Structures are given as C-alpha cells and as structure tokens.
C-alpha cells in the first residue's frame, strides 16, 4: 500500500522537480508544494531539488544512473529542531534532469525508532541495496539502522534491529565503502570518527574487531573547534580513488561555529589519516554541511547542502552539486559553491 502511494506521489512530484525561476514569488516558511513547477529556464541550477527541503546528499552510481539519497527537512518544525521523518531518493542520467522516487524508507518502517531520520548512505552488493541510516531509538539514544531492498529506489525494509548500537551521539552519519578485496567498511560518528568491519551480509559486523575508534589527532583532521580539538565534526564520506583512501567530512574551524567541508587521506582503509585541507568553505552556507562524492560519466561531483531555497534555514536545507577535479597528486583544491550545474553530456 505504502509503495503504491509512493509511486503515485512520485509521478505527481516529477513535474515539481523542474526548478523554479529565480524571480518567481516563493512562499516563506516552507510551503513549497506548488513553487516553481514546469519552469524550464532553471534546469542546471542549484539547489537541484526544489519541491521539498532536502539535506545530507548521498550519491550512488549504478550503471548509467546516479541515484541520490537525501534526508528530508519537514516544512513544519517540532520543538524548533531538525524535524526529519523519511529518506528520499532521486535519480538522473545527465545531472540536469531529475526523477523523484519519493520516500523510500521512513521512521514508520522502523518499529524501534521514533525520530531523527538523519544522514544516510546506500550501497549495492550482490544485487541487493543497503541503506544505512541514523535514527533515534524509542528507548533513547541514537543508533544506525539498515534498510534492505531489491531495487535502488526501494522500498527498503528494516533489518528489525539496530546494526550499530553504541547508544551515544557517535551513532550517526554512516558512510559505507566496499574495497577491492571485498571487505566493507562502515565509518560514522560525531564528534569521534569510528568504524566497523561489515560482514559479507552487509547487515552485521565483525564482533571480534568491534567498534574501532579512530585516533582524533590534529595530524589526521587538522586543528579545529569540535569536541576532540580537531576540525572533524560529522558527516564522513569514505571512498577510494587511484589507490588513495579519502575521508571527506563536515568540519569546524578554530573559533567558527558553522561547518565547512574538509578531507583527509590515507594509504590504508583504516588510517592513519593525514589532513588534506578545506574542501568547501562555510561561506554561503548554513550551520551544517554534508559531503557526498561520486564520479559519474567521466566527471567528479561534490554534493553538499545550503539553505538557499526560499524559506531556507539551518532546519530547512537544500541539496546542491558542483563539479570538481583532483590535482595530479590526488589532493583536492577548495571547491567553490556553485549556482549552476553543467549537464553530464555538455562540454
Ligand atoms: O541532517 C541531520 C544531521 O545534520 C546530519 O546527520 C548531520 O550530518 C547534519 O547534516
């Protein structure tokens, strides 16, 4: 039943994904349902999702399609805090035209969770799709849930219990990566970076190794103002490129109470990490930012979020994307936020 409703909703919302003309009058405070429909002129502009508020972008490339999982900031806030109840999926073949697949997983699908449908990441293994999601448990504390599906667009079915359940604030913002040797890693955490070695089933982890705490040093994550004294804040994004492992994350500079994006690299999937520098500054952003990185159709993309949509705020964010390139030695120079997005087929 929920799937049928989702499909209908997705069809109805597709038109709403055509971005709005900048000069169009936008309602304030989150009423976006009819804003910007059918306005062709804004194809290829940021934010890329305009019919709802979205945050915490997590791209996954499968064949000729890039799937983008996001969180969803509800229009109406409860207790003047992040009000987030489901995870959304969008897809594109050209980085300009997007299809809305609606809510693919929700707190309603997780009997043991009641709040905070926060930053997810998806991965495919052996024809199944796994969506790792932080949630607040009905009995208190955060944990990492995993939804399982036969399709990248869901619906995802909850494992039935937490995958990671340390019970503290570090159980947020999972990032998953399967290395060439088949070992899958799930990193997560705020204010510490932690990881587990996922078993081949992707829904359990090596209990002998347990939850490993990454040493939070200035050499690894730069000097900063988060709880560990480093810049590492949250929102890790873990991947490998040309044999080098990258940990991109939301960061706090010394004395700055707003997130920028930074990165560290390592020659091994488990560190030691070496601080690489600022990937995206705080400028033009809101309190949080959250990286998602993918190579697609021969180009490298950095997804992030801002509060740029009309009515935007730290609790009403919107997902954006920009292209970037790697330097020859694998380092990445600071990437500016962008107003436009070039189509993947365009020069
Ligand atoms: O969106 C809720 C939380 O804010 C995410 O889990 C963090 O990464 C930050 O974006």
Per-residue pLDDT of the chain (347 residues; tens, 9 = 90+): 333 333 333 333 333 333 333 333 333 333 333 334 333 345 789 999 988 999 999 999 999 999 999 999 999 999 999 999 999 999 999 999 899 999 999 999 999 999 999 999 999 999 999 999 999 999 999 999 999 999 999 999 999 999 999 978 899 999 999 999 999 999 999 999 999 999 999 999 999 999 999 999 999 999 999 999 999 999 999 999 999 999 999 999 999 999 999 999 999 999 999 999 999 999 999 999 999 999 999 999 999 999 999 899 999 999 999 999 999 999 999 999 999 998 887 77
Ligand 1 in reach of 118 Cβ (< 6 A)? yes
**At CA 107, angle to CA 85 and CA 47, rounded to 5?**
35
Cβ atoms within 10 A of the Cβ of 340, count?
Answer: 10
Pocket test for ligand 1, best of 88, 169, 282, 290 (most atoms within 8 A of CB): 290
CA distances from 347 to 32, 291, 341 (A): 33, 25, 12
C-alpha neighbours within 13 Å on the C-beta side of residue 158: 19
User: Are the beta carbons of 114 and 163 closer than 8 angstroms?
Assistant: no
Closest ligand 1 atom to Cα of 317: 1
In this prediction, residue 22 carries a pLDDT of 30
> Does residue 317 line the site of ligand 1, with CB under 6 A?
no
With a 6 A CB cut-off, is 113 part of the ligand 1 pocket? no
Q: Is the pTM of this model over 0.85?
A: yes
Q: Report the nearest-CA residue for atom 2 of ligand 1.
A: 118
Is the minimum distance from the CB of 119 to ligand 1 under 6 angstroms? yes
Q: Find the helix or strand (DSSP H, E) in which 274 lies.
A: strand 274-280
Which pLDDT does position 29 carry in this prediction? 35
Q: What is the sign, positive or negative, of the torsion defined by CA atoms of 18, 23, 24, 29? A: positive
- Ligand 1 atom closest to Cα of 235? 8
Residues 6+ apart with CB under 8 A from 181: none
Helix (H, G, I), strand (E, B) or coil at 263: strand
pLDDT score for 300: 98
Q: What is the pLDDT of residue 157?
A: 98
The protein residue whose alpha carbon is closest to atom 4 in ligand 1 is 288
Q: What is the distance between the alpha carbons of residues 223 and 267, in angstroms, rounded to a whole number?
A: 21
Size of the chain, expressed as the number of residues it contains = 347
Instruction: State residue 102 phi and psi, 5-degree precision.
Output: 75, -160
pLDDT at 42: 55
Nearest CA to ligand 1 atom 9: 288
Instruction: Measure 182 CA to ligand 1 centroid, in angstroms.
Output: 29
From 26, 61, 58, select the one nearest 42 (Cα to Cα): 26
pLDDT at 312: 94
For residues 319 and 306, what is the distance between their CA atoms, to the nearest angstrom? 7
Handedness of CA 31, 34, 40, 41 (dihedral sign): negative
């Amino acid at each position: 039943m929920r799937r049928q409703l989702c499909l209908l909703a997705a069809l109805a919302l597709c038109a709403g994904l055509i971005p709005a003309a900048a000069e169009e009058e936008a309602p304030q405070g989150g009423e976006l349902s009819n804003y910007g429909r059918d306005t062709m002129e804004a194809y290829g502009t940021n934010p890329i999702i305009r019919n709802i508020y979205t945050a915490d972008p997590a791209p996954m490339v499968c064949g000729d399609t890039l799937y983008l999982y996001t969180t969803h900031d509800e229009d109406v806030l409860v207790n003047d805090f992040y009000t987030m109840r489901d995870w959304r999926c969008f897809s594109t073949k050209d980085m300009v035209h997007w299809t809305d697949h609606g809510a693919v997983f929700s707190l309603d699908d997780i009997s043991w969770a009641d709040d905070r449908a926060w930053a997810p990441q998806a991965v495919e293994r052996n024809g199944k799709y796994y969506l790792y999601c932080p949630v607040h448990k009905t009995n208190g504390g955060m944990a990492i849930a995993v939804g399982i599906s036969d399709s990248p667009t869901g619906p995802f079915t909850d494992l039935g219990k937490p995958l990671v359940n340390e019970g503290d604030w570090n159980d947020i913002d999972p990032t998953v990566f399967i290395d060439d040797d088949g070992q899958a890693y799930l990193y997560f955490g705020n204010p510490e970076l932690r990881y587990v070695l996922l078993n081949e089933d992707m829904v359990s982890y090596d209990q002998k190794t347990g939850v490993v705490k990454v040493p939070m040093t200035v050499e690894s994550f730069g000097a900063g103002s988060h709880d560990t004294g480093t810049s590492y804040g949250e929102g890790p994004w873990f991947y490998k490129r040309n044999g080098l492992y990258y940990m991109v994350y939301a960061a706090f500079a010394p004395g700055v109470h707003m997130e920028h994006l930074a990165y560290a690299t390592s020659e091994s999937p488990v560190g030691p990490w070496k601080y690489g520098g600022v990937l995206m500054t705080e400028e033009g952003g809101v309190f949080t930012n959250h990286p998602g990185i993918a190579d697609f159709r021969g180009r490298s993309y950095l997804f992030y979020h801002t509060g740029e949509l009309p009515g935007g705020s730290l609790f009403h964010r919107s997902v954006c994307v920009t292209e970037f390139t790697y330097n020859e030695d694998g380092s990445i120079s600071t990437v500016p936020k962008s107003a436009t997005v070039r189509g993947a087929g365009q020069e």
